[in-house]
Amino acid sequence: MFAYVVKRLISGVLVVALVSMAIFLLFWYGPSSPAQPVCDRETSNRCTPARLEVYEKTLGYDNPVYEEYGKFVKGVFVGRTITIASSEYQCSAPCLGVSFRTKQPVKEELVSRMPATFSVAIGGAFLYLLFGVPIGVAAARRRGTVTDKALVSSFLFISSIPYYLFALLTWLYLTLTFPVPLFSDTGYFSFFSEGPWKWFSGLFLAWVALGIFGCTQYTRFTRGAMVEALSEDYIRTAKAKGLPARTIVYKHGLRAALVPVVTIFGIDFGTLLAGTIFTERIFEIQGIGWWSLQAVQGRDLPVVQATALFSAVVLIISNLLVDVVYSVLDPRVRLS
């Protein structure tokens, strides 16, 4: 187990390095100069070729790409000094750059937005499983009945709606048209400074939108896996031995059915942790997703690069955890 984890961590580091190189090269050899957004912002959109050349020189974009990438990697470990226009900014390790828009270290802004994104992700993922798995089990136990068909068709209808439209309609109806008492003031409020209730009420509708929409696929996954598990020979043997139906379903059948569900959940949870752009934007939650969207719109390249790297790290870690949990749920799987 330990050797496997170390091997996966090493491969994860290589993947992060490749992602950082790819992002760096995309920015460097893009259709416009990476210094263009800085020049436009600092000169109030009056950037001339001469001014652009000056900004390219101060930002280091006139140097070879490998040299600037080396400075970026070095800054991650020991920090560095970044020059924007005529100002210098000290960026401590791990240095992910300085935002072109706010002139603040990207690392500090990333850390400040993590609690909002993590709160949305944990609440939404919890509702994925809270609703999706039990409903999927119930549908599998009633396979072919009216209840099963009603659940599958209704969830199929919900999942056919684009998520951004579903989340927007949830916000419009539950905050403007039919405001839900105590929950219509959406947004992220600090658990410690604003209080647990304010934190909960501000995120409640975002969790509802994520949970209802996300649980539809988990219902289908769980139902399919349970139908397959309940048709196995060991289930028939357990029935022949006279074991209670609840024991057969939840102790033997559900454990086998959870294996593919956990695999999908690990990837989905990692994606949520990397930032839920539509959810954060619609419900006005200042998290990593909304921050990355603002960075793309404002061509804030250091922020875009940092959020992409953060997403890669989160997905790598979540996949590693999924592999470990997979071996626990299914004894036939051994990590080696």
Q: Tell me: the pLDDT tens digits for 200-259?
A: 999 999 999 999 998 998 998 999 999 998 888 888 888 888 888 888 888 888 888 888
* CB-based contacts of 163, cutoff 8 Å, min separation 6: 213, 278
pTM of the predicted model as reported, rounded to 2 decimal places: 0.86
- Give the closest residue to 132 by CA, choosing from 196, 205, 200, 224: 224
Whether 332 has a pLDDT exceeding 70, the answer reads no
Q: 85, 106, 127 — which closes off a domain?
A: 106
- Give the closest residue to 21 by CA, choosing from 9, 13, 31: 13
Whether 89 has a pLDDT exceeding 90, the answer reads no
Q: 61, 76, 106 — which closes off a domain?
A: 106
Domain presence at residue 270: yes
Distance of CA 188 to the CA centre of its chain: 17
Domain presence at residue 92: yes
Tally of CB atoms within 10 A around 69? 15
Extract the tokens encoding 261. 């569900």
The domain tally of the chain equals 2
Structure confidence by residue, pLDDT tens digits, 4-57: 778 878 888 888 889 888 888 887 887 777 788 888 888 878 888 888 888 888
pLDDT category, 130, cuts 50, 70, 90?
A: very high
CATH at 309: 1.10.3720.10
pLDDT of the residue at 170: 92
Same domain, 262 and 152: yes
Whether 167 has a pLDDT exceeding 60, the answer reads yes
pLDDT of the residue at 330: 66
For residues 202 and 212, what is the distance between their CA atoms, to the nearest angstrom? Answer: 17
Give the range among 31-45, 142-156, 176-190, 303-317 with minimum mean pLDDT.
31-45
Domain of 31 in residue numbering reads as 2-106
320 or 170: whose pLDDT is higher?
170
Give the range among 139-143, 183-187, 252-256, 280-284 with minimum mean pLDDT.
252-256
pLDDT of the residue at 336: 53
Q: 106, 130, 159 — which closes off a domain?
A: 106
Domain presence at residue 336: no
- β pairing state of 87-91 and 80-84: antiparallel
Domain presence at residue 161: yes
Same domain, 166 and 296: yes
Domain presence at residue 335: no
Helices (H) and strands (E) in the chain, counts: 14, 2
Q: Are 215 and 135 spatial neighbours (Cβ–Cβ below 8 Å)?
A: yes
